[in-house]
């Protein structure tokens, strides 16, 4: 697609990374649960939705399934959408973006593209090519755990400065608060969002983050924290996030975090099954009681009953 359009910065707040629910012995896409989740995020105070992100298991979906996910979400929720792009190579990434964008039914405001190299010119060529394939703005995702690519925050900021198609940066390279501080200062007109399940959200907001773009089984807690920081600063944000932090930490366990979050969503009645497609690992039964404890504590706090 030629004639790239100028970017519009993403709105501050919480952009919920929506999981992809599966059901049945073959782990088929569960469209009913997906629609329920999309409606829930809107009610929970999300600013927008990120669909087909890493948490959405996009790499484990066929192209037809990815289109169905976008179609269901875009027809269910009135929130703006960011489309996650899985491919790290440039040509496949541009092809993937061009194939997926129409399935969002005009609701997509950006595509999320991972940094695929630390080389400045090759990075920009990659990101720009995906942008030009759709005309959509780009959320630049710096997520070395998924991409295998590490780039220093000052170098990333220098590369992106002045590029009109950049709608936001998602900073997921630890230490994230330091990365956010560098990026937010250097890219004054570009919002920077934290990720990683919200585990560093309080520090990231203090460092200049515009909010969070991540998955968590109680996204309303992230929304409360961001709103509290905007209205009352650090102390109010700290008070807002504290009840959720033990569960956020529990969900961020390596290799099993996705399964824990899905099981939490299932226990909240939002999805029918907590299946994770292979090679993902399911929820360990040994941790089931502890998840119950964390969720019960959060529910008590939400109802104003302090343990």
Distance of alpha carbon 36 from the chain centroid: 18
Q: Minimal CA–CA distance to 184: which of 164, 156, 163?
A: 156
Question: Which residue ranges form the domains of the chain, and what is each CATH number?
Answer: 13-233 (3.20.20.70)
Alpha-carbon distance 240 to 233, whole Å? Answer: 11
What pLDDT, on a 0 to 100 scale, did the predictor assign at position 302? 81
Cα gap 197→73, rounded to integer Å:
21
Model pLDDT, residue 303: 77
Integer angstrom CA distances of residue 303 from 90, 296, 299, 300: 48, 11, 6, 5
Q: pTM above the 0.75 mark?
A: yes
Q: Which pLDDT does position 4 carry in this prediction?
A: 43
What residues contact 119, with CB distance under 8 A and at least 6 apart?
none
What is the predicted pLDDT for the residue at 305? 61
Query: What's the per-residue H, E or C state across the chain?
Result: CCCCCCCCCCCCEEEEECCCCEECCCCEECHHHHHHHHHHHHHCCCCEEEECCCCCCHHHCCHHHHHHHHHHHHHHCCCCEEEECCCCCHHHHHHHHHHHHHHHCCCEEEEEEECCCCCHHHHHHHHHHHHHHHCCEEEEEECHHHHCCCCCHHHHHHHHCCCCCEEEEEECCCCHHHHHHHHHHHCCCCCEEECHHHCCHHHHHHCCCCEEEECCCCHHHHHHHHHHHHHHHHHHHHHHHHHHHHHHHHHCCCCCHHHHHHHHHHHCCCCCCCCCCCCCCCCCHHHHHHHHHHHHHHHHHHCCCCC
pLDDT tens across the length of the chain (307 residues): 334 444 689 999 999 999 999 999 999 999 999 999 999 999 999 999 999 998 999 999 999 999 999 999 999 999 999 999 999 999 999 999 999 999 999 999 999 999 999 999 999 999 999 999 999 999 999 999 999 999 999 999 999 999 999 999 999 999 999 999 999 999 999 999 999 999 999 999 999 999 999 999 999 999 999 999 999 999 999 999 999 999 999 999 999 999 999 999 999 999 999 999 999 999 999 999 999 999 999 998 887 765 5
Locus of tokens 């009610």? 43
């Amino acid at each position: 697609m030629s004639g790239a359009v100028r970017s519009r910065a993403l709105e501050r707040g919480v952009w919920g990374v929506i999981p992809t629910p599966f059901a049945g012995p073959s782990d088929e896409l569960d469209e009913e649960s997906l629609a329920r989740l999309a409606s829930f995020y809107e009610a929970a105070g999300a600013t927008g939705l990120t669909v087909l992100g890493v948490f959405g298991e996009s790499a484990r979906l066929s192209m037809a399934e990815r289109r169905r996910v976008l179609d269901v979400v875009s027809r269910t929720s009135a929130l703006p959408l960011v489309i996650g792009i899985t491919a790290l190579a440039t040509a496949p990434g541009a092809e993937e973006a061009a194939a997926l964008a129409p399935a969002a039914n005009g609701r997509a405001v950006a595509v999320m593209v991972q940094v695929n190299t630390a080389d400045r010119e090759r990075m920009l060529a990659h990101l720009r090519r995906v942008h030009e394939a759709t005309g959509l703005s780009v959320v630049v995702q710096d997520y070395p755990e998924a991409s295998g690519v590490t780039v220093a925050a000052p170098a990333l900021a220098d590369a992106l400065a002045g590029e009109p198609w950049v709608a936001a940066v998602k900073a997921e390279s630890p230490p994230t608060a330091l990365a956010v501080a560098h990026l937010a200062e250097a890219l004054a007109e570009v919002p920077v969002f934290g990720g990683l399940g919200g585990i560093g959200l309080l520090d990231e907001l203090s460092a200049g983050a515009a909010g969070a773009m991540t998955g968590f089984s109680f996204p309303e807690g992230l929304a409360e924290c961001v709103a509290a920081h905007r209205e009352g600063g650090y102390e109010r944000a700290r008070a807002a996030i504290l009840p959720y932090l033990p569960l956020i930490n529990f969900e961020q366990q390596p290799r099993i975090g996705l399964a824990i979050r899905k099981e939490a969503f299932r226990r909240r009645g939002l999805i029918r099954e907590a299946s994770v497609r292979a090679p993902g690992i399911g929820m360990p039964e040994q941790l089931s009681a502890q998840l119950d404890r964390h969720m019960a504590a959060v529910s008590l706090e939400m109802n104003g009953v302090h343990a």
